[in-house]
Structure 1
Amino acid sequence: MRWSLPWTPKEIEVTGKMDIAFVLNSLSLGEITTESTLELQDKIAAELQAASLNIVTPKTYKQAITSPENSDWEDAICSELCNMRDVGVYDILPIPRGRMVLMICGARKWYVNSFDFVAAYLNAKIDTAIWVRPPNGLHIPNGFGCKLCKALYGTKQAGYFWWQCVATRLTTLGYAASDFDKSLYLHESQKAMIWLHVDDGIIAAEDERLLLQLCDELGKSFKLKWEDSVNSIVGIDIMRTNGGYKLRQQRLIESIFQTTWDSTLSIKTPLPAKCNLVTLRDNEEVTHAKDYIGAVGALSYVTMGT
């Protein structure tokens, strides 16, 4: 098969904007030798590949709209947003207010207590037959094992069954989970609310008798550590002021420095100057990887906590 070209090879200049279909469709049958045709096709393919390599894929919205191909990226963004709108991925609504428990308590001068469930997961029943080997120190006859009756720590169902257990109990006491935050429980008729984080909780109410009532009722089902104030929760120190509450994470930050770094860093760069990094081989084990991941996770928690 032979091709006739509307241009000479010297006249061809392919850019990232040029439509590949235009280049291919401009070739027509003619009297050029197969060798010349293949040479030109190789040149076109090389130009197209080089042009595609020069197009940098943006990683952010700002990079996309400021790139030379911004009109193409804007079309792609618009298409994706239209797809989300057409299938109802989201609704545009006002942001709900009143989700900050301590802010509400401070503004309304409510009474606030805190509590902790002792061995929380062990209160929840498990619905699967799971057998475990007895731990060291537990002596049982040969041929016997331990069949779990409760959601022991480490089982994949433990967290779910504990949540199901405590949520059911709170429901019987007249509390229902908020539509905006499933860890926040509001009383159906009284001005009272409970915020839970796994086994730690805060209860606030306009009437102090509701706090005592909840302490008594929960104590019938769970073993509790109850405090008539709130001083800390999930690593956050809480101090009551005349205008509300003040939150800080000083103890957690100090603990991170003590366990992660021997002393406060005195230089801004994370590595010594002119440090040579060596690529890790596939069969080599990463040392201190868990310590590094733990430090990053702790610092991330600090940034989000307060």
Structure 2
Amino acid sequence: MDNDVWDLVTLPKGAKPIGCKWIFKTKRDSKGNVERFKARLVAKGFTQKEGIDYKETFSPVSSKDSFRIIMALVAHFDLELHQMDVKTAVLNGDIDETIYMRQPEGFVSGDPDNMVCKLKKSIYGLKQASRQWYFKFHQVIISFGFEMNMVDDCVYHKFSGSKHIFLVLYVDDILLASNDIENCYIFE
């Protein structure tokens, strides 16, 4: 709800909603003590129909060779290196298709038999989720003035005078390499 992922609507005639379920995990520290509890709502994407609920599922990721080249540049030019993981990455991707999902257990609002969630953004479990996240990331990073590498769609660079920054995307993990440490913190 906080991420504005769906609208609650009446299920149109002839439409079939996909299911969803909660996945619960307990995160523990190195000593086995409970650190936190995590809950993630996951769509039952295995029930999606190609051509109806999704068209494409392919999402590019950076290659090992690109990673090696960036690491060689880091070592050779003594660049600053920063790694980050994007939390709730998939929830940022916009949905192109019309997908209805049953209301999650514990959320039920209105008539659960007729009211469903019309997805506006992707959620975990959808076949096109990582693809939609990549498209959103690409759109935003280009707006920051980055240019995509011609050989690897998941490597970006930006040059500004003597300052430069390289960005490598692997699903929801980002590696930043720059000759100016301040460049690495523009994403925090």
Cross-structure match for 1:259:
none
Tell me, in whole angstroms, the C-alpha distance in 1 between the residues paired with 2:168 and 2:177.
9
Number of aligned residues: 120
TM-score (norm 1): 0.37
Structure 1 partner of 2:178: 205
| 1:140 to 1:203, Cα distance in 2 relative to 1, 3 A | same
What is the rounded CA distance, in whole Å, between the counterparts of 2:110 and 2:83 in structure 1?
A: 43
1:178 aligns with 2:161: no
Residues 1:149 and 2:113 are matched in the alignment: no
What is the distance in 2 between the residues matched to 1:98 and 1:200? 12
Q: Once the 2 structures are TM-superposed, how far is the Cα of residue 156 of structure 1 from its aligned partner?
A: 2.5
What TM-score do the two structures reach when normalised by structure 2? 0.59
Deviation per CA, 1:169-198, whole angstroms, max 9, x where unpaired? 110111111112111111143411000101
Equivalent pair of 1:98/1:104 in contact (CA under 8 Å): no
Q: What is the RMSD computed on CA atoms of the aligned residues?
A: 2.1
Distance in 1, Cα, partners of 2:89 & 2:80: 25
SS of 1:159 mapped into structure 2: helix
Encode CA deviations 1:12-45: one digit per residue, 9 max, x unaligned. xxxxxxxxxxxxxxxxxxxxxxxxxxxxxxxxxx
Alignment check: 8 A CA contact 2:67 2:168 kept: no
Q: Which amino acid aligns with 1:215?
A: F
Quote the offset at 1:124 in angstroms: 1.4
**Aligned pairs (5 A) from 1:1-306:** 100-142=69-111, 143-189=114-160, 190-212=163-185, 214-216=186-188
Cα distance in 1 for partners of 2:115, 2:87 equals 29
- Which structure's residues are more often helix, by fraction? 1
Indicate the structure (1 or 2) with the bigger Cα radius of gyration. Answer: 1
Residues 176 and 188 in structure 1, CA contact (< 8 A), matched pair in contact too: no
How far off is 1:97 after superposition? Answer: 9.2
Asked whether the 8 Å contact 1:125–1:149 carries over to 2, the reply is yes
Q: Which runs of 5+ in 2 are unaligned?
A: 1-64
Unaligned 5+ runs, structure 1: 1-95, 217-306
Give the % identical residues: 26
Alpha-carbon deviation of 1:155? 2.1
In the aligned structure 2, how far is the partner of 1:202 from the partner of 1:160?
Answer: 19
1:137 Cα deviation from its structure 2 partner: 2.1
**2:94 and 2:132 in contact (8 A); partners too:** yes
* Distance in 2 separating the partners of 1:136 and 1:97: 43
The one-letter code of the counterpart of 2:122 is A
Structure with larger RCO (C-alpha < 8 A, sep 6+): 2
Measured after TM superposition, the shift of residue 157 of structure 1 is 2.3
Q: Which has the larger share of strand?
A: 2
Instruction: Indicate how the Cα distance of structure 1 residues 98 and 202 shifts in structure 2: closer, same or farther if over 3 A, else same.
Output: closer
Rounded to whole Å, the distance in 2 between the matches of 1:156 and 1:126 is: 11
Letter in 2 for 1:126: I
Question: Which 4+ runs in 1 deviate beyond 3 A?
Answer: 96-99
Distance in 2 (CA, whole Å) between partners of 1:138 and 1:97 is: 44
